[in-house]
Amino acid sequence: MDKNFTRQKTVAKEEADWYDARELTLYGLIPEQELLGRRLPKEIAESVNKGVFNYSAYCAGGRLRFSTDSSFLALEAQYGPGAVPTVNNHCVSYGLDLYRCDGETEEFQAAVRPVDGFDYKTGSYKMTTNSQGKLTPYTLNLPVFSSLSDLQIGIEKGCTITVGKPYRNEKPVVFYGSSITHGAAAGRPGNTYESFISQTYNLDYVNLGFSGNAKGEQTMARYIADLPMSVFVCDYDYNAPTLEHLKNTHYAFYETIRQKQPDVPYIMISRPNFFCAPEPNSKRRQVILESFEKAKALGDKRVYFIDGETLFEGEFARSCTSDGTHPNDLGFFRMAQKIGPVVEKAYELFDGGLKIG
C-alpha cells in the first residue's frame, strides 16, 4: 500500500512545547468544559430532535486560528462521545486539516487522521507548516463528524504560537441545513462549501448543518433569530421529508428570523442534485422560490434566492456527488463558486455599510 496512507509521523512529548487548544482562538463552536466546543447549546439541541442533539456535539465548521514560526505542528486529539473506530476513519469524519492564510486566500498545508482502532485518541501526529522561521498565520479545521473533548498542539521548542489572522466580519455567516450543509461527503474538513467560501473571502461562519435532521423546526428558527450574524443561509430543502412539510415550514422559518433580524441578508437555496429527480425537485424549488418572491413583494431588499439546479453547472456536472445526493469535493467547490459571490455581495451591502437602493 502507498506509504502515504499509513500512520503519520509522530512527535515525542519531549520534542515539542505543548499548548491546550482552549488557549487559542476558537471559531464556529461554543466553548464548554466537557468538550472543546459544540455547535448548539445542549438545552436547545435537546428540544429540537435527537439527531440534532447528537450532531450538535460534532465540530463541523469549528476552527482554530493562530500564528506560529514553528516548522511543524504536533496534534494530539481526545475524541468525545460517539467516536467509533471503524474503516470510515477518513479525514472528514475524524481528521483535521491545516491552511496557511497569509495570502489573499487560504492555502491547504497538511492533514492528519487517526488510524483504524484509534481508541478515541490520536497519536501526536506531525504536520509540516513550511513557516521557514517566520511568524505565519494558520487556520486549523476540526473534524466534521466527531466531537473533541481535548486537543493539544505541540510546536518546535523555542518557537512561538500567538493570535492568528482576524476575519473580516465581526459577526459570522450562519449556515443552516442538511447533510450537504453539514459536509457529509467532503474529503476533509476544509473541503465543505462553507469552508471554501471562508477561505476565499476571509469570512467567519457557523455550520448548523445536521445530517438528516434539519427540518425547519421553529425551535431552530427562534434560536437562529437570536444569533449575531452578518448573513444567514437557509439550505434545509433536502431534509424536509415531504413537499407539504417544506410548504408548511419554509416561509414560516423566514418570518421568525425576520421578526428578530429585519435587516440581516437572508439567502434561500434549493437542493443541488436537481438532475436526479427533476419533476419533484422542480416542485420543491417552486416552494422556495415562492418564499423568496413573497418576501420581495413585501419589501424585503435583503433576501436572495439561489437555484440549486445551477450549483453543479459545468463540465462533469453529474460527477459532483459521491452517491447521487451528497456533494463530493468537486460538488462542494462548484457550490462555493455559486454561493460564495452571493454571500460576499450580501455581506458587503450589509456589514460593509453600503446602502441598498
159 in any annotated domain:
yes
Which cell is 300 given? 424585503
Q: Give the residue numbers spanning the domain of 59.
A: 3-163
CATH number for the domain spanning 75: value is 2.60.120.260
CB-hemisphere CA count at 13 Å for 248?
9
The predicted structure's pLDDT at residue 4? 59
356 in any annotated domain:
no
Q: What is the tally of structural domains in the chain?
A: 2
Low-confidence ranges of the chain (pLDDT < 50): 85-89, 117-118, 354-357
Point out the domain boundary residue: 129, 163, 197: 163
Q: Which pLDDT tens digit goes with each residue over 160-174? A: 999 999 999 999 999
The predicted structure's pLDDT at residue 210? 96
Listed in order, strand segments (DSSP E) in the chain are 16-20, 25-27, 63-68, 72-79, 96-100, 107-112, 125-128, 136-141, 148-156, 161-163, 173-177, 205-209, 231-235, 266-269, 303-306
243 in any annotated domain:
yes
Query: Is the same domain home to 267 and 300?
Result: yes
350 vs 302: CA distance, rounded Å: 8
Query: Is the same domain home to 90 and 234?
Result: no
The predicted structure's pLDDT at residue 117? 47
355 in any annotated domain:
no
293 in any annotated domain:
yes
User: Distance from CA of residue 320 to its chain's centroid?
Assistant: 18
Q: What does residue 267 show for φ and ψ, rounded to 5 degrees?
A: -110, 125
CATH number for the domain spanning 326: value is 3.40.50.1110
Strands 96-100 and 136-141: antiparallel
Which cell is 299 given? 419589501
Q: Is this model's pTM higher than 0.85 or not?
A: yes
* Distant-in-sequence, close-in-space partners of 298: CB < 8 Å, separation ≥ 6: none
Query: Is the same domain home to 137 and 194?
Result: no
Counted residue by residue, the chain has a size of 357
The predicted structure's pLDDT at residue 31? 94
Q: Which pLDDT tens digit goes with each residue over 1-28? A: 565 555 557 788 888 999 999 999 999 9
